[in-house]
Structure 1
Amino acid sequence: MSKKAIWIIISLILLTILTSPFGIIYLLNNGNPYTKYIANKNVPQYLHEMGYLETDIEDSHYVEPKNGINNEFYRGHYMVIFKDESDVTYYYGITKKGKNVKQFCEKHKISSDGVTESIEGKTKYSEEKCAEMF
């Protein structure tokens, strides 16, 4: 091997080592781009198939959970708030096997004083078969 080839290999290795922390920080702050893509693609389609229109939904977007989750699901979730139940936040996940959308049983409710509480009982948009988030 020539000296030029050795320097190129060494430079590539150093570049990889130096840029890896930036990639890790990006993933920790923003989540996996692939997970975000499949959530943004599959969950709105699932909600449409369930009969929900865009006019029924106040807010919906991809979220990256701060804690550990059910290992059968991709890490990123999709958060949905319906207009006529705007104090309850629903979460949907994508299964690793089959990429199916499932609603999580855990929901959050924001009280009048701004405190977020977990809800595990039935609510207006609760699905009969839900999955455990944790």
Structure 2
Amino acid sequence: MQEGGKDIKKKIIWFAMGLIILIIVAVPIGFFYVLYNGNPYTNYIADKNVPVYLEEKGYTENDIVESHYVEPKHIINNDFYQGHYMVIFQEEPDVTYYYGITKNGKQVMQFCEKDKLSADGVTDIVETETKYSEKKCVNSLDNRN
């Protein structure tokens, strides 16, 4: 009977060691994934909500040159999830628009700041009204504590 007890103790020890090794390996991998790719949940809700929002605004795939989730390298407005959804429109290829998702209610809103590529290849952040600017936009750099 003691032999059976020793086998169970060995199994528990091996299981515990395996679990510790898994944690030691998985935590850094997860950390670097989120560091370089952003939060997968934020990416998911942006990919799910922003294209629907743009479609409701009347934009089609033909109107858009490029659109996808991006992770800003600075802290943004605390009312929004950290990730952005960038959109470049066909008729205005030198301007990149950014959309965010509110933490409360998961509403899509356009950020007032846009990246404008100048003729000399320099990108500037502008808040002036452009062709696809929405009347109600939110400043992504407000409310950052």
TM-score (norm 1): 0.94
Q: How many residues align structurally?
A: 134
Q: Residue deviations 1:61-107, cap 9 Å, x none?
A: 11111111111111111000111111111000111111110000100
Q: Give the alignment partner of residue 86 of structure 1, picking from 81, 87, 93.
A: 93
Structural mapping, 1:52-71, within 5 Å: 52-71=59-78
Question: What stretches of structure 2 of length at least 5 have no aligned partner?
Answer: 1-7
Instruction: Name the larger-Rg structure.
Output: 2
Q: How far, CA to CA, are the matches of 1:13 and 1:108 in structure 2?
A: 46
Q: How far, CA to CA, are the matches of 1:57 and 1:18 in structure 2?
A: 41
Structural mapping, 1:52-131, within 5 Å: 52-131=59-138
**How much has 1:122 moved relative to structure 2?**
1.0
Q: How far, CA to CA, are the matches of 1:42 and 1:91 in structure 2?
A: 13
The letter for the 2-side match of 1:88 is: V
Q: How far, CA to CA, are the matches of 1:40 and 1:19 in structure 2?
A: 26
Q: 2:134 is paired with a residue of what secondary structure?
A: coil
TM-score (norm 2): 0.87
